[in-house]
């Protein structure tokens, strides 16, 4: 219990500081976990309570992501989602996988690292667009839809990782069946659900919490991983009143997710056997490979490399989903590498996103200057 | 002038329109509750942005719809076309030092101007229908209702003193 209280207190202080400076808090939550955990004296230790909280954090994160996925909306924007999404997926998966494999990770580990390497942080990208007042830029639409595409790909990754030894086809059919049942429940129980959500007593929030938890624990009996179950629940609930569900699930998500980040940091061990060369190489490549995919997307969609720079600036940061992949896979070496990558990319990303305007203007005036020089000769 | 509205997943709703002269205005209602307004001049590449709270955005809306008379003081005129074109004006005033300590009765607001104080805002708290014995304090904002002539009279006779 003391661990949890200490973790919450540290997070509260960190949240206050980072919000005041308007920088992302996630890397600092992880660092706090690292410093107070194994690496630094073991003030924080994982126990049953922290484990439960972390699990809740992961479940609510995925439930929230499911709520945001509205299939009909994606279908109506197929071209916008597809073109940039496919460039982003291919470039970053290939670079991430090649780098991890060449640096000596096993095949499965490389796939996990490549997936975490590919998935940008949706939360950080959207916050950066709003806080840096970039919503009107045409590149920001591309970034927003890119995040939707990445969420879809993440679901596929999660399915593959958690399928384990099961027959993949049988496994997918099971997931689709679950989704179908939840969809039908949401569809036929819509009026009931909405009537619950409209109340202003404890019922809506209790219902939301219970529905997510019951669905997650029901997963055990069906042999479908709980991660897939809660996403499916989110997608099904999104057909009723997603805003109300978001509002009621947000407090749980916010608190549990912070604990999840800290205790993920606790499991990270930079001191013993961490290969700094490998960690550094992956982190730097993570920044560079998004530059490559960003530039290509910019040129392909907007016909301008400068647009690519803007896309890059807002998609550098890796965050919650990369960590989720690391936790679900659960290998300490992979976890350490991904933790370092998240810390580096999210800090670098937040600064580049803040100053991308200056960067763009600098490049434009520089090239204009060069053009003028050329003309005078 | 074509107005487009667009739902952006995870961000909120976007409204965008282009003026006849080619300038673009975009408004974003974000999920966090804040409202961002961007303007992009024709031929320009970088937009400028303003971030507003919902209250500020409503205020801006009032200005744009032409209801504001002076800065800091807002006024709304409501026309009831069914009642012989009845026009009622509601106006806000920040009280002057001359008001402080005096009651509505002392100031003889109704007798002198015909206008009525219908609400007073004090330290972010609203007092609706203050009684004649209600005494003003420094920093109060009064909401006065009446015909536009009565409001003008209020401004010239009560406020100036």
Pick from A87-101, A155-169, A252-266, B73-87: least confident: B73-87
- The shortest C-alpha distance from B66 to chain A (Å) reads 26
Sketch out chain B's domains with CATH numbers: 3-64 (no CATH), 75-159 (3.30.70.1450)
Backbone angles phi, psi at A180, to 5 degrees: -60, -45
ipTM for the assembly: 0.77
Asked if B32 has any chain A CB less than 8 Å from its own CB, the reply is yes
pLDDT at B127 (0 to 100)? 86
- What average pLDDT does range A285-294 have in this prediction? 93
Q: What is the pLDDT of residues B81-138, one digit of tens each?
A: 667 677 788 888 888 777 888 888 888 888 888 888 899 888 878 888 888 888 888 8
Q: Which of A126, A133, A147 sits opposite B49 (nearest CB)?
A: A133
pLDDT at A1 (0 to 100)? 64
* CA A318/CA A332 separation, integer angstroms: 18
Determine the residue of chain A that is closest to B15 in CA distance. A136
pLDDT at B51 (0 to 100)? 92
Asked if the model's pLDDT at residue B53 lies above 60, the reply is yes
pLDDT at B27 (0 to 100)? 93
Q: What is the pLDDT of residues B5-26, one digit of tens each?
A: 778 888 888 898 888 888 999 9
Pick from A57-61, A143-147, B44-48, B70-74: least confident: B70-74
**Contacts with A141 from chain B: Cβ below 8 Å:** 8
DSSP state letters, A170-193:
HHHHHHHHHHHHHHHHHHHTHHHH
Residue of B10, B14, B27, B45 to mutate for A, most A C-beta atoms under 10 A? B10
Sketch out chain A's domains with CATH numbers: 45-249+276-376 (1.20.1530)
pLDDT at A167 (0 to 100)? 76
Residue A235: C-alpha distances to residues A155, A221, A337, A371, B123 (Å): 12, 21, 31, 52, 45
* CA A12/CA A15 separation, integer angstroms: 5
Do residues B156 and B118 make contact, with C-beta atoms less than 8 angstroms apart?
Answer: no
Do residues A345 and A287 make contact, with C-beta atoms less than 8 angstroms apart?
Answer: yes
- The shortest C-alpha distance from A109 to chain B (Å) reads 31
Asked if B97 has any chain A CB less than 8 Å from its own CB, the reply is no
Do residues B144 and B154 make contact, with C-beta atoms less than 8 angstroms apart?
Answer: yes
Q: Which residue has the higher pLDDT, A377 or A342?
A: A342
Determine the residue of chain B that is closest to A145 in CA distance. B9
**Contacts with B31 from chain A: Cβ below 8 Å:** 246
- The shortest C-alpha distance from A46 to chain B (Å) reads 33
Yes or no, beta carbons of B51 and A148 under 8 Å apart: no
pLDDT at B124 (0 to 100)? 76
Q: What is the pLDDT of residues A135-159, one digit of tens each?
A: 888 888 889 889 989 988 998 888 8
Instruction: Express as a percent the part of chain A with pLDDT over 90.
Output: 31
pLDDT at A40 (0 to 100)? 65
Residue A188 burial (C-beta neighbours within 10 Å; 0-12, 13-18, 19+): exposed
Per the prediction, chain A carries an average pLDDT of 86
Q: How crowded is residue B63: how many other Cβ atoms within 10 Å of its Cβ?
A: 11
């Amino acid at each position: 219990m003391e661990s949890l209280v200490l973790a919450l207190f540290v997070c509260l202080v960190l949240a206050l500081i980072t919000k005041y400076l308007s920088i992302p808090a996630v890397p600092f939550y992880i660092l706090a976990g690292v410093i107070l955990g194994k690496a630094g004296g073991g003030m924080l230790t994982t126990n049953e309570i922290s484990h439960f909280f972390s699990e809740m954090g992961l479940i609510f994160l995925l439930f929230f992501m499911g709520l945001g996925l509205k299939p009909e909306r994606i279908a109506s924007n197929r071209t916008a989602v597809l073109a940039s999404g496919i460039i982003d997926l291919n470039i970053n998966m290939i670079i991430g996988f090649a780098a991890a494999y060449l640096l000596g990770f096993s095949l499965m580990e490389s796939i996990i690292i490549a997936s975490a390497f590919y998935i940008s942080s949706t939360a950080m990208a959207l916050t950066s667009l709003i806080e840096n007042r970039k919503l009107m830029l045409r590149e920001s639409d591309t970034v927003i839809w890119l995040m939707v595409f990445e969420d879809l790909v993440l679901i596929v990754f999660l399915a593959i990782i958690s399928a384990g030894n099961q027959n993949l086809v049988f496994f997918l059919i099971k997931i689709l069946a679950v989704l179908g049942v939840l969809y039908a429940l949401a569809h036929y129980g819509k009026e009931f659900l909405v009537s619950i959500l409209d109340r202003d007593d404890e019922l809506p929030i209790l219902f939301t919490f219970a529905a997510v938890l019951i669905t997650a624990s029901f997963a055990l009996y069906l042999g479908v991983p709980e991660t897939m179950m809660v996403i499916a629940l989110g997608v099904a609930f999104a057909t009723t009143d997603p805003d109300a569900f978001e509002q009621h699930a947000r407090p749980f998500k916010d608190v549990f997710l912070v604990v999840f980040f800290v205790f993920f940091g606790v499991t990270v061990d930079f001191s013993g056997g961490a290969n700094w060369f490998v960690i550094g190489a992956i982190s730097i490549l993570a920044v560079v490979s998004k530059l490559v995919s960003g530039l290509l997307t910019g040129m392909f969609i907007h016909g301008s490399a400068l647009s690519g720079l803007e896309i890059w600036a807002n998609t550098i940061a890796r965050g919650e989903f990369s960590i989720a992949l690391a936790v679900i896979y659960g290998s300490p070496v992979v976890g350490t590498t991904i933790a370092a990558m998240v810390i580096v990319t999210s800090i670098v990303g937040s600064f580049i996103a803040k100053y991308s305007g200056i960067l763009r203007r600098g490049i434009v005036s520089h090239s204009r200057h060069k053009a003028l020089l050329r003309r005078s000769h | 002038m074509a107005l487009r509205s667009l739902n952006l997943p995870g961000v909120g709703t976007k409204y965008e329109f282009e003026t006849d002269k080619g300038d673009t205005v975009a408004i974003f209602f974000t999920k966090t509750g804040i409202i961002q307004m961007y303007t992009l001049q024709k031929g320009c590449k970088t937009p400028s942005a303003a971030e507003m709270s919902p209250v500020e955005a409503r205020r801006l809306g009032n200005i744009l719809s032409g209801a504001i008379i002076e800065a800091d003081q807002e006024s709304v005129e409501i026309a009831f076309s069914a009642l012989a074109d009845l026009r009622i004006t509601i106006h806000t005033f920040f009280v002057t030092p001359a008001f402080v300590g005096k009651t509505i009765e002392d100031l003889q607001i109704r007798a002198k101007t015909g206008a009525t104080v219908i609400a007073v805002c004090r330290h972010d708290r609203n007092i609706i229908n203050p009684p004649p014995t209600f005494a003003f304090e420094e920093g109060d904002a009064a909401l006065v209702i009446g015909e536009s002539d009565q409001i003008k009279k209020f401004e010239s006779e009560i406020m100036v003193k």
